[in-house]
Amino acid sequence: MSRLTPTLRQLAPRHAAPAPLAAPILAAARLHPVPRRAVHTSPARQNLSPAPRPHLLPEFSLKDKVIVVSGGARGLGLVQAEALLEAGATVHCIDRLPSPANDPSSGFSQIYKRARRELDTSLTYHQSDVRNVVELNKIMENIADQAGRLDGLIAAAGINHETPALEYTPDEADRMMSINVTGAFMTAQAAARQMVRLKQKGSICMIASMSGTIANRGMYAPAYNASKAAVIQLCRSLAAEWGEYGIRVNTLSPGYIMTQMLQSLFDDFPERREIWPSENMLNRLSLPSEYRGAAVFLLSEASSFMTGSDLRIDGGHSAW
């Protein structure tokens, strides 16, 4: 090291001149100060979506995209449908319930009106059961024909039923699989057929669950857990087949979500109100709104190189 020291000192003068680009950059910063962003705190302003800003990442924009959401009449499907609308998409919801757009007190009705009045887009409802494959394909074809395109799908239709494995009947197990697995499969197939027909790339998000990867402690739902594991594997298989058409397929696996259905479950099993939040790393349950960003990410060009993947959002529940 002693022989190298003089050489290194000669290569590094004591008073090196500053980099030539440093001064222009600093000068530019002084000449063009960044304005402070205004913060709106009025209640009226808080209820409105922020106006689009040019510096937002364009990859997350869904402007002019046409997207279908199955199971979109309420719950997580409806929350994600609103997020897609806010990102600029035209959204079609499919659900088995009678049209909630006719009920002025429903969340769907309020979002339906907001889409036209505030967001300059549209939300359309189609009543159908995902087990009715013929009708499902007709709906997808009509949507694609009217718009001349079909860009994406969120397959969120599904059910849950908690029964100990020793008490499950074949009919109960078949119903779970027919809606959660076959229904999701046929919905994705119907959407992909239109994308292939129109020679258009697209993105499909299938709602799975952390229960497709783990067995929930203290919750006896073997058929539900198996159905969500099947959805995760189905996603990988569809992604492998449809990648050549430019169709991406991913799953979103939520943790426990604080919904009206879960609240009813807590009424029957009050001890779970304390136990379930403690089983994840954030010590709380998630809200439906915390999956809005994931929906936009998976349906937009922001995830353009992502397919065959499972996006798990469970507060660290599965990472212990």
Residue 47 lies in a domain: no
Residue of 112, 125, 224, 291 marked catalytic: 224
Catalytic residue status for 125: no
* Percentage of residues in the chain having pLDDT higher than 90: 78
Beta strand residue intervals within 39-83, DSSP E: 66-70
Q: What pLDDT shows up at residue 101?
A: 86
Residue 278 lies in a domain: yes
Residue 199 lies in a domain: yes
Give 49's pLDDT tier (boundaries 50, 70, 90): low
Mean pLDDT in residue range 209-221: 96
Residue 26 lies in a domain: no
Tens-place pLDDT, residues 66-98: 999 999 999 999 999 999 999 999 999 999 999
Residue 33 lies in a domain: no
Residue 9 lies in a domain: no
Residue 288 lies in a domain: yes
Task: Say what angle helices 75-86 and 292-299 make with each other, to 10 degrees.
Answer: 60
Decide if 292 contacts 77 (C-beta within 8 A). no
Residue of 112, 125, 228, 256 marked catalytic: 228
Tens-place pLDDT, residues 152-199: 999 999 999 899 999 999 999 999 999 999 999 999 999 999 999 999
Give 56's pLDDT tier (boundaries 50, 70, 90): confident
Q: Which residues contact 308 (CB under 8 A, 6 or more apart)?
A: 235, 236, 239, 240, 249, 250
Catalytic residue status for 228: yes
CATH number for the domain spanning 237: value is 3.40.50.720
d(C-alpha 282, C-alpha 167), whole Å? 34
**How many domains are contained in the chain?**
1
Residue 306 lies in domain: 59-313
Mean pLDDT in residue range 10-18: 44
Give 20's pLDDT tier (boundaries 50, 70, 90): very low
Residue 39 lies in a domain: no
Q: Which long-range contacts (CB under 8 A, 24 or more apart) does 264-269 make?
A: 265/162
Give 124's pLDDT tier (boundaries 50, 70, 90): very high
Average pLDDT, the chain: 88
Q: Is the dihedral of CA 96, 100, 101, 106 positive or negative?
A: negative
pLDDT exceeds cutoff 70 at 51:
no
Q: For the whole model, what pTM was predicted?
A: 0.83
